[in-house]
């Protein structure tokens, strides 16, 4: 749990629990007196600080996946590239996958470092209007392992949101780790005082992936995080010569389309497999610049347009209710 201190006893109920400091497992814990006083149940002051810090960010989008390896970070990076292709928009990409930060490599920023300024950490810029922040910039080597428990990872996420000098942004894209773990609870908690447009959920067509995505959807519903829609990645392979489509990962249970229909969620689109996407990520280049007319690039562009339309309509709805 995200509210269990590093030095807590085994079976700690959590500092915000009604049983904090009162159960048998609390006996002898160095935090028992503080927890029993009720002080730990007060809201984290960082939540208000983050709300103030991010008040200059118009749209905040989380990218989630139930399972690893479905292309979530690849999608996050290309969503950021696509939004930043409009030079009038300011875009930032935040990587909160603390133990597996791949964004620096995908964005062509490996070896870059974060600099401290009077107004906080300065993000690393890909373009004049595209900023990136990742724990990967704080490691001495891309091969260094981050072996942290939940509270330390949560502290780093708090720092990214509160201490990075994001400036005025039109879009902040948050690339999360797979699953529904501490990082997800923290990002939702810390952004609770801000307006989050919603989450884009990435899956692949096969049932083994969809099974975990349903858990991710339940998580969003439980924490009241709006779902912008679902993207089916690796959805068939279009042969570059004959143009025929082959199903590499067969949608045995109907794929994301069937799942979205059953759960009444928008299917934002299907992105076909294209080896050039993987190659562009390894080389730190935008896939849109490499093969802009490919079926995968066109699918991306359609999905990005749907996300932009959703965000615009969300703002209009909010303005009409205030």
Domains along the chain with CATH numbers: 16-43 (no CATH), 55-320 (3.40.50.300)
Sign of CA dihedral 312, 214, 187, 297: negative
Q: Are 296 and 277 in contact (CB under 8 A)?
A: yes
Instruction: Look up residue 204 and give its two tokens.
Output: 């692949």
φ/ψ of 132, rounded to 5, equals -135, 140
pLDDT in tens, 166-187: 999 999 999 999 988 888 989 9
3-state SS track over 194-235: CCCCEEEEEECCCHHHHHHHHHHHHHHHHCCCCEEEEEECCC
d(CA 186, CA 151): 10
pLDDT of residue 9: 77
pLDDT of residue 315: 67
pLDDT of residue 234: 93
Instruction: Spell out the residues 6+ positions from residue 69 whose beta carbon is closer than 8 angstroms to its own.
Output: 178
CA contacts within 13 A on the Cβ side of 135: 23
pLDDT of residue 244: 80
pLDDT of residue 30: 81
Residues at the annotated binding site for ATP? 66-73
Q: Which parts of the chain have pLDDT scores under 70?
A: 1-3, 6, 39-42, 315-322
Residues at the annotated binding site? 12, 26, 29, 35, 66-73, 239, 242
pLDDT of residue 205: 94
pLDDT in tens, 17-26: 777 778 888 8
Residues at the annotated binding site for [4Fe-4S] cluster? 12, 26, 29, 35, 239, 242
């Amino acid at each position: 749990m995200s509210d269990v201190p590093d030095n807590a006893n085994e079976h700690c109920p959590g500092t915000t629990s009604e049983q904090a400091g009162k159960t048998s497992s609390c006996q002898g814990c160095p935090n028992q007196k503080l927890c029993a006083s009720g002080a730990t149940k007060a809201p984290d002051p960082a939540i208000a600080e983050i709300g103030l810090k991010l008040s200059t960010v118009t749209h905040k989008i989380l990218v989630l996946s139930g399972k690893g390896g479905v292309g979530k970070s690849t999608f996050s990076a290309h969503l950021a590239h696509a939004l930043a292709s409009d030079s009038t928009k300011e875009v930032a990409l935040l990587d909160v996958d603390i133990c597996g930060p791949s964004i620096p490599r995908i964005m062509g920023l490996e070896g870059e470092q974060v600099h401290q300024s009077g107004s906080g950490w300065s993000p690393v810029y890909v373009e004049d209007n595209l900023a990136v922040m990742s724990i990967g910039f704080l490691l001495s080597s891309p091969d260094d392992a981050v072996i942290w428990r939940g509270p330390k990872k949560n502290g780093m996420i708090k720092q990214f949101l509160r201490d990075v000098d994001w400036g005025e942004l039109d879009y902040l894209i948050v690339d999360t780790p797979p699953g529904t773990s501490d990082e997800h609870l923290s990002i939702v908690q810390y952004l609770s005082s801000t307006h989050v447009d919603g989450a884009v959920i990435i899956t692949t067509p096969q049932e083994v992936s969809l099974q975990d995505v349903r858990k991710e959807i339940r998580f969003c519903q439980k924490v009241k995080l709006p779902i912008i829609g679902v993207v089916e990645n690796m959805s068939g392979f279009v042969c570059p010569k004959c143009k025929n489509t082959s199903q590499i990962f067969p949608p045995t249970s109907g794929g994301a389309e069937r799942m979205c229909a059953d759960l009444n969620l928008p299917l934002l689109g299907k992105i076909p497999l294209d080896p050039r996407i993987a190659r562009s990520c390894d080389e730190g280049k935008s896939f849109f610049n490499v093969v802009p007319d490919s079926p995968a690039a066109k699918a991306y562009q359609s999905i990005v347009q749907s996300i932009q339309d959703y965000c615009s309509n969300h703002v209009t709805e909010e303005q009409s209710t205030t």
